[in-house]
Structure 1
Amino acid sequence: MPDITTLILDDHAWFRRRFAELDELQARPDADPRELSRVWRPLADRLDVHAIAEEKIFYPQLLKQGENPQDETLDAIGDHNEIRDGVAEAERNPVGSQGWWDGVWSARRANDEHMAEEENEGLADFRQHAPSGLRESLGRQFQEFMDTHPTPEGLDNTDKDPEVYVRTIEARIDPASASTTGLGIGDLKGHDQ
């Protein structure tokens, strides 16, 4: 089983290919909305499910294992919110309309930024600090989640406050510290985990 970092990178490559397909379709003046939907619908769904899977499976472990996990996670959750917002903007508009394209490209810009940062920071950090057995176990969980949820239907796909998200995860990692110190971002840095 590939480790979670490989699976996330595989999804990133898939996202890039689907956006490239949309590039080609946009260049055609006669692009059929059904063809646009054929590419966009699975892409929009997977963008959302991928973000949820990372938030449930990857980032809690990054916060335990990483070298600079708080900043990386704060940025990632903010990026996820921007991606979700772009997808939602596209969904509010007829496929192929200017408003739809605006949402698609907003999601793409946020996703491109997110993937670059995650590949150079969070994933690299996790590969360096998390044992391979953990990465493989998380890979199984990530794959099962993605297989079980081909669409975001029934999942919490709302924007998250990045600071609240990190504080909540850190409180789960070290509940005693959270209850006695009013845990804040970065408070776990240096603790043995």
Structure 2
Amino acid sequence: MDIVDCILADHYRQRMMFAALDEARGDSESAGKIFDRLRNFLEAHAEAEELYFYPRLLQCGEGALDSDSAEETTDDAIDDHNKIAEAAEEAAGHEVGSEPWWECVDQANYKNSKHMSEEERQGLTDFRRRVPLEERVALGIKYLAFEAEHTRYQREEKDPDAYIRENEDA
């Protein structure tokens, strides 16, 4: 499976899980379980992208649509991953179902939705245009294997500039 398709499928699942959270308002037990699963899924997804997608984008990307370069796209994406994780972490510090918890969940949803839109429009477009299908399939297999292995993954925050320096010539 093409890594671009894997990422798009993950985005669909993220949208579905945030929608399920909206439906679970008033059912804190279910909302808490859904959010725990979503939080872990978001962390593993971000790390898989940072291992298999963004390093290759930095090597061959040129920027697409409203992004001037692969570096700009990557910097923004890594920063977004950090902000999404921070919002999810903040939610974990509140009682599930409380007003502050929902505010954090809504912020995570907002930040994630913004990120997915940019990634789909910029990074994935650039990747499809510049990485051959055979290589995208090989990366997709590694991406899926990583996610399968990390259903309870704890992502560490990264500095976008340092990340780019470390991965431009990977």
| Equivalent runs, 1:1-193 vs 2, <5 Å | 2-26=1-25, 31-67=26-62, 68-153=69-154, 157-170=155-168, 172-173=169-170
Moved over 3 A (4+): none
Per chain length, whose mean CA-contact separation is higher, i.e. which structure has more relative contact order (CA < 8 Å, sep 6+)?
A: 2
* Separation (CA, whole Å) in 2 of partners of 1:127 and 1:143: 18
Q: CA deviation at 1:36?
A: 0.8
* Separation (CA, whole Å) in 2 of partners of 1:39 and 1:88: 15
Gaps of 5+ in 2: 63-68
Percent of paired sites with the same residue: 41
The normalised TM-score by structure 1 is: 0.82
Residue 189 of structure 1: aligned partner: none
* Separation (CA, whole Å) in 1 of partners of 2:30 and 2:75: 36
Q: CA deviation at 1:47?
A: 0.6
Q: Indicate the SS of the match to 1:96.
A: coil
Gaps of 5+ in 1: 174-193
RMSD: 1.1
Q: CA deviation at 1:80?
A: 0.3
AA aligned to 1:128 is R
Q: CA deviation at 1:23?
A: 1.4
AA aligned to 1:167 is R
AA aligned to 1:63 is L
* Separation (CA, whole Å) in 2 of partners of 1:86 and 1:138: 29
Residue 190 of structure 1: aligned partner: none
Q: Indicate the SS of the match to 1:83.
A: helix
1:100-139 Cα offsets, whole Å, 9 max, x none, are 1122111111100110000000001100000111100000
* Separation (CA, whole Å) in 1 of partners of 2:163 and 2:107: 23
1:5-36 Cα offsets, whole Å, 9 max, x none, are 0000000000111111111222xxxx222111
* Separation (CA, whole Å) in 1 of partners of 2:92 and 2:108: 11
| Matched-pair contact (CA < 8 Å) for 1:89–1:99 | no
Larger Rg: 1
Q: Indicate the SS of the match to 2:95.
A: coil
* Separation (CA, whole Å) in 1 of partners of 2:20 and 2:156: 27
